[in-house]
């Protein structure tokens, strides 16, 4: 068995797609996908965004800056060559990043996407 895809549900697909494509640098797998569904090549697995149903999306309030979602037990990690450089890139693109952490040879940094989902970048 292997992990093939991670899916995140999104209220604002345009904003979320722009963040993962432009700030994080993930490439869409198929540009002709419907507006409510986008898959990105995440280097060995797919990362997908799926629009929330309208009735569900109405019940969710997204703040700017986003509030960290504390009601989820999931955090996904993207491996990058240079964590500090990617952290700066994400900050420059309007990302919400926390402090770098070092554990021996491991460097990592948590951040939030525009809807408050927590993700991590780490050297891989």
Spatial separation of the C-alpha atoms in residues 18 and 25, rounded to whole Å: 9
Angle at CA 83, nearest 5°, toward 81 and 84?
125
Domain positions in the chain: 5-53+74-123
3-state secondary structure of 44: coil
Is the whole-model pTM more than 0.75? yes
3-state secondary structure of 17: helix
3-state secondary structure of 37: strand
H-only helix segments in the chain: 13-18, 54-58, 83-92
Angle at CA 11, nearest 5°, toward 38 and 26?
35
Say what percent of the chain tops pLDDT 90.
69
pLDDT digits (tens, 9 = 90+) for 32-43: 777 789 999 998
Fold of 5-53+74-123: 2,3-Dihydroxybiphenyl 1,2-Dioxygenase; domain 1 (3.10.180)
Task: Find out whether 30 and 45 touch, Cβ atoms under 8 Å.
Answer: no
pLDDT digits (tens, 9 = 90+) for 6-59: 999 999 999 999 999 999 999 999 877 777 899 999 988 999 999 999 898 888
């Amino acid at each position: 068995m292997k992990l093939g895809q991670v899916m995140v549900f999104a209220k604002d697909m345009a904003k979320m797609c722009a963040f993962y494509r432009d700030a994080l640098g993930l490439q869409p797998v198929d540009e002709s996908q419907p507006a409510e569904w986008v898959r990105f090549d995440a280097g060995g697995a797919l990362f997908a965004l799926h629009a929330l149903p309208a009735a569900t999306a109405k019940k969710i309030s997204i703040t700017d800056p986003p509030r960290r979602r504390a009601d989820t037990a999931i955090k996904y990690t993207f491996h990058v060559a240079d964590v500090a450089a990617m952290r700066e890139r994400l900050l420059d693109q309007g990302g919400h990043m926390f402090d770098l952490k070092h554990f021996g040879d491991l460097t990592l940094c948590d951040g939030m996407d525009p809807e408050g989902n927590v993700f991590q970048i780490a050297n891989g």
